[in-house]
Every structure is written in structure tokens, then in C-alpha cells.
């Protein structure tokens, strides 16, 4: 059996990734790269669907790539590259946009949320077609599986629909991908507001754990995390969201279950528990942070690695795109 192909990506929308990106995505990617022929991109073309400062975008793109590598995505094993380095993404997105219904795109909940948040005048057509570009990312590589969080599942469903529609109309050009919510992956919530998801673009950073923050800052944020007055370390997402969230984080970085954590802290207070979470998170983040900063100290080498990987991605993407151009009936340049 040939190795299945996997594709995923993250937007370079902040200087540092946050704990949710690390636990919910990078840790899973790191494991999955052993089993799959994996492609991981830094999706800069997606990031510009909302305004970005050009110099900052370049820097965030490098920083995101460095954090992938520091977290254990190996650029010699997986194809780790920057989306805009492979021109086929934008080109296939155009073709796919011509078979996407206006209403179909308008039903995407991320678009509805974001356009509501920014207002109509600040909502770009790029934000509207964001999922079509995402479909192009996935379909160019004949992807079998796409590990994503819940919030992106709808986009992968759209990708499946577009692949099936194209294949029915023009012949079998695309593998129809499956979304997978990776096993053991967990949703991480804001430490100050444990009912909303931890996010790079949160209004306040007080409850966001940044991978590249100084460990003393991370330690303080954990010690100040919102809990409750019940005093027992017990997993109850509804009644005790703050404690449940800390348990999820602790469980992910120490590879333990909620039941094991409850046993470990039975009869002990939140102070003890938070110190343990702090120590475990700091131990997990510290080497990743150090490695990322080292990589960022040598941007020329990082750019070289990204270029090698972009060439690998280009070769696969070009083959798909050229087949698609033929199927659609675009005249070849003589």
C-alpha cells in the first residue's frame, strides 16, 4: 500500500503561535508525519484576507515556519513550505472558484462570523473565497487526510464537494480528502476566559499562552488562570471550565488522562495543581522556544530550507494543475 498523503496549514497571523496551535495542531502533526507523506504549509495567502503590514507579514511567516520546525516537524521528512512560494495555489483557486456556488460559499460559518466582526465595508472578496483557496491547497497534493480543528471541518466538506463536482464534470482529477480530527487532540481555552477558545487574535493576551514568550511570563499566566471556588481538581467542562482547561493542557503535555490527573491531585488544592501545570508547560515549551529562536537567528538558512521544500511541493502541485488545465480546456501555450 502506498503511503497516504496528509495536508495541513496554519496562518502566519501572529509573532508567536499559542498553546492551542501547539497542542491542537503541531503535536498531532508531529506524530502524524511518521505515518503519512505529510505536507505542512504556512498559509500567507490566507493571512492577507484581512489587512497585514507587509514587513510584519514576512516576519510572521518566517516565525511560523521556525515554530513548526522547532516543534518537531522535520523538513527532511515532511514537506514544510510557504504557500505563496507555490504559484499553483492561486491558480487552482481561480479554477475552483468557477465551480463554487455563491450561496455555497456564503454558507461558510467562518466567513459569516468574520464578516460580521469586521463589517461589510471591511470584508474583502478574498475573505469570501478563503475556503476555495483552502480547497486548492488540499486538492493540489492529491491529499487523503486533512487534520483540522472542528472550526475547519466545514471547509474540508466544501473541498470534498468541489473535488467530487470537478471529477464528475471533467474526469477524475482529484482525490477526495477526508477531514480528521486527530485522536487525542483537544480544544484549548483562554486562561482568563475559559469558555472561549484560545486564539492568536484574542482581544486580550492575558489568557493566551504564547510558545515564544519568556517562560516567566508563561508561568505567571498559568498561576493566574481563572479557576473556581470548589477547590477540587475534577474534570467538569460545564461547571468548572477553568480547571477542566488546565487539566486538558496538563494532560496533553504529560500524556495523562483526566482520571489520572484527578487521582494525582486528590485532596490537594489548586495551588499545587497550578504549579504542576506550570512546570509541565514550561518544560514542554522551553526547548521549542529556544530552538525556534535559534532558527530565527539564521534567516538565510531557514529561507534555504523553505526553498528546498517549496521546490518539492511545486513539483507535485504543477502536475495536478497542468492536468486540471487540460481537463478544463485551456489551450496549451505552443
Q: Which residues sit opposite 299 in a β-bridge?
A: none
Count of residues engaged in binding ligand ATP, rule: CB under 6 A? 17
How far is the C-alpha of 77 from the C-alpha of 66, rounded, in Å? 15
Question: Which residues ranging from 91 to 150 are in contact with ligand LTN (CB under 6 A)?
Answer: 134, 137-138, 146, 148
How many residues bind ligand LTN (CB under 6 A)? The answer is 13
Active site residue 220: no
Q: Which of 79, 84, 142, 152 touches ligand LTN (CB under 6 A)?
A: 152
Cα–Cα distance measured from residue 223 to residue 89, given in angstroms and rounded to the nearest whole number: 43
Within 31-50, the residues that bind ligand LTN by CB under 6 A are 43, 46
Question: Cβ atoms within 10 A of the Cβ of 128, count?
Answer: 18
145 binds ligand ATP (CB under 6 A): no
11 binds ligand ATP (CB under 6 A): yes
| 197 touches ligand ATP (CB under 6 A) | yes
Annotated catalytic residue within 200, 221, 240, 274: 200
Question: 56, 57, 62: which is closest to 81 by C-alpha?
Answer: 62
Stretch of 6-14, 117-125, 168-176, 232-240 contacting ligand ATP, by CB under 6 A: 6-14
- Beta carbons within 10 angstroms of residue 144's beta carbon: 19
70 near 29, Cβ under 8 Å?
no
Q: Which stretch binds ligand LTN (CB under 6 A): 4-12, 255-263, 274-282, 317-325?
A: 4-12
Q: Which does 7 bind (CB under 5 to 8 A by kind): ligand LTN, ligand ATP, none?
A: ligand LTN
User: Considering 77, 112, 153, 197, which one is annotated as catalytic?
Assistant: 197
Closest to ligand ATP by CB, 198 vs 277, is: 198
Listing DSSP states for 31-86 in one string gives HHTTTSEEEEEE-HHHHTTS---HHHHHHHHHHHHHHHHHTT--TTTSEEEEGGGS
* Whole-number Cα distances in Å, 79 to 40, 88, 170, 258, 310: 6, 16, 29, 34, 8
Residue 13's binding partner among ligand LTN, ligand ATP, none (Cβ under 5 to 8 angstroms by kind) is ligand ATP
Active site residue 200: yes
- Shortest-Cβ-distance residue relative to ligand ATP: 24
- Catalytic site includes residue 312: no
Residue 143 region, left (φ>0) first, then alpha (ψ -120 to 50), else beta? beta
**Contact with ligand LTN (CB under 6 A) among 11, 28, 64, 79:** 11
Q: Is 133 helix (H, G, I), strand (E, B) or coil?
A: helix
Among 58, 187, 205, 327, binds ligand ATP (CB under 6 A): 187
Contacts to ligand ATP from residues 22-41, by CB under 6 A: 24-25
**Is 149 a residue that touches ligand ATP (CB under 6 A)?**
yes
- Asked if 160 touches ligand ATP (CB under 6 A), the answer is no
Q: Is the dihedral of CA 257, 282, 205, 124 positive or negative?
A: negative
Residue 9 in contact with ligand LTN, rule: CB under 6 A? yes
Q: Does 60 bind ligand LTN (CB under 6 A)?
A: no
In angstroms, the CA 306 to CA 66 distance is: 10
Return the active site residues. Answer: 114, 197, 200
Amino acid at each position: 500500500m502506498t503511503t497516504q498523503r496528509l495536508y495541513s496549514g496554519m496562518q502566519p497571523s501572529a509573532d508567536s503561535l499559542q498553546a492551542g496551535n501547539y497542542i491542537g495542531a503541531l503535536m498531532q502533526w508531529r506524530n502524524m508525519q511518521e505515518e503519512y507523506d505529510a505536507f505542512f504549509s504556512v498559509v500567507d495567502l490566507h493571512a492577507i484576507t484581512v489587512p497585514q503590514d507587509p514587513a510584519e507579514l514576512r516576519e510572521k511567516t518566517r516565525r511560523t515556519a521556525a515554530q513548526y520546525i522547532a516543534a518537531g516537524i522535520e523538513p527532511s521528512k515532511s514537506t514544510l513550505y510557504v504557500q505563496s512560494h507555490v504559484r499553483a495555489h492561486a491558480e487552482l483557486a481561480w479554477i475552483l472558484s468557477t465551480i463554487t456556488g455563491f450561496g455555497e460559499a456564503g454558507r461558510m460559518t467562518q466567513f459569516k462570523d468574520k464578516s460580521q466582526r469586521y463589517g461589510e465595508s471591511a470584508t474583502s472578496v478574498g475573505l469570501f473565497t478563503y475556503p476555495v483557496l483552502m480547497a486548492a491547497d488540499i486538492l493540489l497534493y492529491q491529499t487523503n487526510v486533512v487534520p483540522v480543528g472542528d472550526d475547519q471541518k466545514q471547509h474540508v466538506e466544501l473541498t470534498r464537494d468541489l473535488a467530487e463536482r470537478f471529477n464528475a464534470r471533467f474526469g477524475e482529477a482529484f482525490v477526495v480528502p477526508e477531514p480528521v480530527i486527530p485522536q487525542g487532540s483537544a480544544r484549548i481555552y483562554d486562561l482568563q476566559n475559559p469558555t472561549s477558545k484560545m486564539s492568536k487574535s484574542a482581544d486580550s493576551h492575558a489568557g493566551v499562552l504564547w510558545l515564544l514568550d519568556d517562560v516567566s511570563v508563561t508561568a505567571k499566566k498559568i498561576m493566574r488562570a481563572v479557576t473556581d471556588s470548589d477547590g477540587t481538581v475534577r474534570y467538569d467542562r460545564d461547571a468548572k471550565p477553568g480547571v477542566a482547561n488546565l487539566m486538558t493542557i496538563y494532560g496533553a503535555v504529560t500524556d495523562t488522562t483526566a482520571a489520572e490527573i484527578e487521582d494525582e491531585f486528590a485532596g490537594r488544592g489548586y495551588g499545587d495543581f497550578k504549579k504542576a501545570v506550570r512546570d509541565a508547560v514550561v518544560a514542554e515549551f522551553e526547548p521549542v522556544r529556544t530552538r525556534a529562536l535559534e532558527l530565527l537567528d539564521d534567516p538565510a538558512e531557514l529561507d534555504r530550507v523553505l526553498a528546498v521544500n517549496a521546490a518539492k511541493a511545486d513539483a507535485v502541485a504543477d502536475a495536478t494543475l497542468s492536468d486540471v488545465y487540460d481537463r478544463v480546456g485551456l489551450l496549451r501555450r505552443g
